[in-house]
C-alpha cells in the first residue's frame, strides 16, 4: 500500500522556501543544487526516526533549507550550513564541508548528519562525515551511488547500515515548479549502533500532492 501525503505543519514553510529559488536563475545547473522534496524526508523519518540517536542534526549541504524545515517540524535542532547563499536566514552560507583546513564550529561526535549532498560530490561528503566520526549519517542520493569501485572501497572501509530505496522516482524542482522525476533515489545510512550486514528497505510514496500544486 502506498503512503499518501498528509497535511502537516511544515508544508507551507517548505513551499515558501521553494519560492526563494525563483530569484536564482539556473542555480541547479551552476552548483549541482536540486531541492529535496519535503515528502521524501518525511517518508524517511517515518521509517528511521526511532533509530536516530540524537535530536541534534548537522546539515552541511542545506541549500535553501528544505530538509531543515522538515527536521525542525519533527523536533530536531539543526545546524544548517552550505557553501552557497540561498537567501535563507536559517542556513549559514560560506561553509565548505569538504575543506579540511576550515575549522569546525560544532562537535561532529554529538550530531547526526541528514543531508542531500551535491551528487557529483556525494562520495566526498560521505567519506568526510565518516572520517570525522559522525555517529549517524543519512544521505539522500541517486540509486547508482551503490555502484562503482570507488564507492565499493568506501563501503568496505565503512559498511552501510541500512538502505531505503524510493520505489518511485522523486519529483524535481525546475523553473518554478515540481516536475515528474526520472531518476531513482535512495537513502544510505551509516549508524554506529548497527550490527550485522546492511539492511535493505523500500519506500513507496505517491507524489500526487506536488502534481496538484503544479496545476494551481
Residues of the chain with pLDDT under 70: 1-32, 173-179, 181, 206-216
Q: By CB neighbour count within 10 A (0-12 exposed, 13-18 middle, 19+ buried), where does 152 fall? A: exposed
> What pLDDT score does 197 carry?
96
Instruction: List, for residues 117-137, the tens digit of each pLDDT value.
Output: 998 899 999 999 999 999 999
From residue 216, alpha-carbon distances to 14, 117, 177 in Å are: 17, 30, 10
- Residues β-bridged to residue 55: none
Rounded-to-10 torsion of CA 41, 113, 66, 118: -100
- Residues β-bridged to residue 173: 178
The position carrying cell 500526487 is 208
> What pLDDT score does 168 carry?
87
The long-range contacts involving 47-51, CB below 8 angstroms and separated by at least 24 positions, are: 47/164, 47/201, 47/203, 48/138, 48/162, 48/164, 48/187, 48/189, 49/74, 51/136, 51/191, 51/193
Q: Report all structural domains of the chain as residue ranges with CATH numbers, in order of start.
A: 10-214 (3.40.50.150)
> What pLDDT score does 31 carry?
53
pTM of the model: 0.83
Count Cβ neighbours within 10 Å for each residue of 96-106 and write b for 16 or more, e otherwise.
ebeeeeeeeee
The position carrying cell 519533527 is 74
Distance CA 216, CA 202 (A): 31
Task: Show the CA angle centred on residue 32, arms to residues 119 and 85, nearest 5°.
Answer: 120
Distance CA 53, CA 58 (A): 13
The position carrying cell 543519512 is 138
Strand ranges inside the chain, DSSP E: 56-59, 77-80, 112-115, 136-142, 162-166, 172-174, 177-179, 185-191, 199-203
Amino acid at each position: 500500500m502506498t503512503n499518501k501525503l498528509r497535511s502537516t505543519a511544515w508544508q507551507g514553510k517548505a513551499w515558501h522556501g521553494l519560492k526563494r529559488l525563483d530569484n536564482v536563475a539556473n542555480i541547479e545547473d551552476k552548483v549541482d543544487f536540486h531541492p529535496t522534496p519535503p515528502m521524501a524526508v518525511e517518508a524517511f523519518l517515518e521509517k528511521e526516526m526511532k533509530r536516530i540517536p540524537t535530536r541534534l542534526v548537522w546539515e552541511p549541504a542545506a541549500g535553501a533549507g528544505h530538509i531543515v524545515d522538515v527536521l525542525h517540524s519533527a523536533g530536531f535542532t539543526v545546524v544548517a550550513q552550505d557553501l552557497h547563499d540561498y537567501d535563507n536566514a536559517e542556513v549559514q552560507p560560506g561553509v565548505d564541508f569538504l575543506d579540511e583546513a576550515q575549522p569546525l564550529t560544532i562537535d561532529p561526535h554529538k550530531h547526526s548528519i541528514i543531508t542531500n549532498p551535491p551528487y557529483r560530490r556525494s562520495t566526498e561528503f560521505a567519506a568526510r562525515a565518516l572520517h570525522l566520526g559522525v555517529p549517524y549519517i543519512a544521505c539522500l542520493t541517486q540509486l547508482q551511488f551503490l555502484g562503482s569501485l570507488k564507492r565499493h572501497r568506501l563501503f568496505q572501509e565503512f559498511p552501510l547500515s541500512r538502505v531505503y530505496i524510493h520505489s518511485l522516482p522523486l519529483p524535481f524542482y525546475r523553473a518554478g515548479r515540481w516536475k515528474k522525476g526520472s531518476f531513482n533515489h535512495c537513502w544510505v545510512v551509516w549508524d554506529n549502533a548497527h550490527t550485522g550486514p546492511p539492511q535493505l528497505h523500500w519506500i513507496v510514496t505517491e507524489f500526487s500532492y506536488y502534481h496538484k500544486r503544479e496545476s494551481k
